[in-house]
Amino acid sequence: MKNWRIEAIIISIGIIMLGVMIKNGINDFKDKDRIVSVKGLAEMEVPADKVIWPLVYKDIGNDPALLYVNMEQKNKAIVTFLEKNGIAKDEIDIAPPEVIDMQAERYGNRDIPYRYNATSVITVTSKNVDKVRKLMSEQAELLKQGIAITGGDYKYNVSYEFTGLNDIKPQMIEEATKNARAAAEKFAKDSDSSLGKIRNASQGQFSISDRDANTPYIKSVRVVTTVNYYLKR
């Protein structure tokens, strides 16, 4: 008889524990259906660490040999100007001149006083952005030598880049994740819930853009993370 009672007690305890486990499992299952999706933003302004500066000038003439000699002299003068002001040789690239035969053009004007129109491009690619920007303001020195650097052509715009993204990625991802969690905690509080574990997360794409049209040498780096959290009752 005693054995029977002991077995009955054990079975009863087992049934009670099973019921508790089932209840907790059902609640947990319900909680897993309660999810909040939040986004976290991180932004940072950084100075450009690379500049590409094309120095473009045009020349005209009727004698291609003489035109070539003139352009060679102008190229040397430009390179001398750059090197004198601290630009290294390996930062300077001289492209072959682009020459247009105006008379050979299908819709060319036969009455123009010159036949050949040549464009020369010397490109400076440097990590010393401040030095190059200073030189841009001093290029009037070339005009004194009869070399007019042209601008306004979209093909030859000065461009600034930021190449140090890998150095700031961890810091920005951490900040974006913190901002996402703060938003999730606020949502959980407003809905009388508590924040659970992360269900999944997406880092998102980093974007680098000019801070504004007037300061292209200052970049705005941006990343948005998406995090899905479980909510608990």
| pLDDT by 10s per residue, the chain, length 233 | 445 555 555 555 555 554 444 444 434 444 456 888 899 999 999 999 999 999 999 999 999 999 999 999 999 999 999 999 999 999 999 999 999 888 776 565 666 788 889 999 999 999 999 999 999 999 889 998 999 998 767 778 999 999 999 999 999 999 999 999 999 999 889 888 889 888 888 888 899 999 999 999 999 999 999 999 998 87
The answer to pTM > 0.85 is no
Going along the chain from its start, the domains and CATH numbers come out as 30-47+164-232 (3.30.110.170), 50-161 (3.30.70.2970)
The b/e string for 131-148 (b: 16+ C-beta within 10 A; e otherwise) is ebeebeeebeebeeeebe
**Count of beta carbons in the 10 Å neighbourhood of residue 27:** 12
